[in-house]
Homo-oligomer: A and B are copies of this chain.
Amino acid sequence: MDPRRLDQTFAALADPTRRAILARLIDGEATVMELAEPFAMSQPSISKHLKVLEGAGLISRGRDAQRRPCRLEAKPLAEANEWLERYRAIWEGNFLRLDALLDELQRVTPPSKSAPGKKR
């Protein structure tokens, strides 16, 4: 509901490294080292990405000795999905395009000044 939450969620998802980290976490918890391993990137950079993900509520972290295992928190993804759902009808093409409908009506009732035609 909070728009800031969506901002953070989408911003966090707008980076391939972070999406890859989330994908990795589908298989379960992982430490920072494990998450960093596939990337040609310094450990601090990964920590920074994790901070962004944590800030967006997309991961949470436990404590296992000196390790800070990361776990996926999918709730913000559910909210993002909920936002996207409003557009499903459109991308599925089941959507009765309002302007197409208007074009149709204009073909029956020719356009006037107060109802200018739309270009297609």
Please give the count of copies of this chain that the complex contains. 2
| Chain A 48-88 near chain B by CB (<8 Å), digits 1 or 0 | 00000000000000111000010110110110110110111
Tell whether, in the assembled complex, residue A14 and residue B19 are in contact, meaning their CB atoms are under 8 Å apart: no
Tell whether, in the assembled complex, residue A91 and residue B78 are in contact, meaning their CB atoms are under 8 Å apart: yes
Tell whether, in the assembled complex, residue B7 and residue A62 are in contact, meaning their CB atoms are under 8 Å apart: no
Residues in B neighbouring A87, C-beta threshold 8 A: 22, 26, 72, 74, 77
Residues in B neighbouring A10, C-beta threshold 8 A: 10-11, 13-14
Tell whether, in the assembled complex, residue B84 and residue A80 are in contact, meaning their CB atoms are under 8 Å apart: yes
* Cβ-based interface call for A44 (8 A): no
Q: What's the Cα separation between A93 and B72 when bound, in Å?
A: 12
